[in-house]
Amino acid sequence: MTRATHTDPQQGSARMPCPPESSVAPPGPSLVDTAIWCAQRGWPVHPLVPGRKIPAANCSHCREKQDHEPVHCPCLQAGRWCHGFHAATTDLDRIRAWWDAQPRFGVAVSCGPANVVVLDVDAHASKHPQRDRLLPGIPIHPSIDLTGLENGFHTLALLAAYRRQPNPCHDDTTLRVETASGGMHIWYSLPADLRLRSSRGADATTALAWQVDVRANKGYVVAPFTCTSKGTYRPLGTVRDPAPLPQWLAEELIRTGHGIASSPAPSSQTIRPLIRRTGGPVDGLRRLLEDIEACAVADEGTGFTGKLNKAAFTAGGLVAAGRLSRTEAVDRLTYAAEAARPNQRVKIARIISDGLTAGALRPLHLEGRS
């Protein structure tokens, strides 16, 4: 095996490779301690090939029987580590047995059963793709200069700025881990009634942002403190627990197709009413926005101005009643209107501003009372 012995630890590299097998134990917890630490937090773990990010190999039986369903595999019942995240467990006896068998196994956390979502921000400097692939669903106007935008840190910062929210990469209230390749894992806990699917930032169908992967259901993440041949996954700061997923990120993840449909609708305690499926004045605004978006298919004669004015008026009432922030109202209205009439930005901004102001004089406090 390749042993990275050229790096001088005295140089203080933040991504010092793991010590070779023959050396004394590294400072900090051993890998089995890391696995136990995760399990005690309620995060099911499974082993990784020593020094790498891929799951430990299946047994020979499972390697040969390629087509069998992991959920029906007898190895899982028997306590073996076949099939990656399917084998993940919080059973401490099983964990000790696995790491006794191979103390240099890396540690992976299975995100779905751990009820966490991890934003995996890549730092692979590369030329960015077309504008519509940077933040799927959010149009980036040609006038915006994208010079220097080259990795996931930049796209996530752009998304946060667009939503006027704090950048998750700087969120020192939650567990953040510097990855071995200079990226970042940002961990958040999920409310019990929200399940999310995993995605890769380059996916055509489901993605949050270019170079930002989402690790959730059927996804795993390298545990903090695990070392690979490229370096150690080092937690930043002192926070070691995931904070609750911020509402705006929950909304972004659902907007970008990460919500798992079979899960119950998020409760109003965890998700603001803006994404409720049915009923209420915010739902009424959603229908108005859909009307506006529908104007995109015809050049004129659709009553676009009147529809936008009506939606802005309704949104103004919701803002005045505290049901919606003005920022969010402007964002939603602008997004829908510019999608339908991309060449009328100035006019759209004026209609929205006027409508919000007029609507604020008539707050919409309760459903059906308008």
Q: Decide: helix, strand or coil at residue 189.
A: strand
Segment contacting Zn ion (CB under 5 A): 80-88, 196-204, 253-261, 334-342? 80-88
Give the DSSP H or E segment for 47: strand 45-48
What is the spatial distance between Cα 7 and Cα 201, in angstroms, rounded to a whole number? 32
Query: Which residues are CB-contacts of 335 (< 8 A; sequence separation ≥ 6)?
Result: 138, 139
Segment contacting Zn ion (CB under 5 A): 74-82, 128-136, 285-293, 350-358? 74-82
Give the closest residue to 110 by CA, choosing from 204, 47, 63: 47
Report the nearest approach of Zn ion to the CB of residue 58 (Å): 5
Q: Does 86 bind Zn ion (CB under 5 A)?
A: no
Report the nearest approach of Zn ion to the CB of residue 74 (Å): 7
Give the closest residue to 180 by CA, choosing from 123, 111, 114, 105: 123
Report the nearest approach of Zn ion to the CB of residue 46 (Å): 13
Report the nearest approach of Zn ion to the CB of residue 84 (Å): 11
Residue with token string 């609507």:
359
What is the spatial distance between Cα 186 and Cα 306, in angstroms, rounded to a whole number? 43
Q: Which of 15, 29, 49, 59 binds Zn ion (CB under 5 A)?
A: 59
What is the spatial distance between Cα 77 and Cα 71, in angstroms, rounded to a whole number? 10
Segment contacting Zn ion (CB under 5 A): 11-19, 51-59, 147-155, 157-165? 51-59
Cβ atoms of 211 and 155 within 8 Å: the answer is: yes
Residue nearer to Zn ion on the CB measure, 76 or 253 = 76
Q: Does 73 bind Zn ion (CB under 5 A)?
A: yes
- Chain-centroid distance, C-alpha 316: 31
Report the nearest approach of Zn ion to the CB of residue 66 (Å): 10
Using CB under 5 A, count the residues that bind Zn ion.
Answer: 5
What is the spatial distance between Cα 219 and Cα 235, in angstroms, rounded to a whole number? 20
Q: Going residue by residue from 122 to 151, which x/- string records binding to Zn ion, judged by CB under 5 A?
A: ------------------------------
Segment contacting Zn ion (CB under 5 A): 79-87, 96-104, 108-116, 287-295? 79-87
Of residues 173 through 232, those in contact with Zn ion by CB under 5 A are none
* Eight-class DSSP state of 18: P
Tokens at 344, concatenated: 């009328």
Segment contacting Zn ion (CB under 5 A): 46-54, 75-83, 330-338, 355-363? 75-83
Q: Does 87 bind Zn ion (CB under 5 A)?
A: no
What is the spatial distance between Cα 88 and Cα 63, in angstroms, rounded to a whole number? 18
- Bridge partners, residue 235, by sequence: 177
Q: Does 236 bind Zn ion (CB under 5 A)?
A: no
Q: Which of 62, 109, 138, 214 binds Zn ion (CB under 5 A)?
A: 62
Q: Does 75 bind Zn ion (CB under 5 A)?
A: yes
What is the spatial distance between Cα 43 and Cα 90, in angstroms, rounded to a whole number? 7
Segment contacting Zn ion (CB under 5 A): 57-65, 134-142, 245-253, 315-323? 57-65
- Where on the chain is the footprint of Zn ion (CB under 5 A)? 59, 62, 73, 75, 82
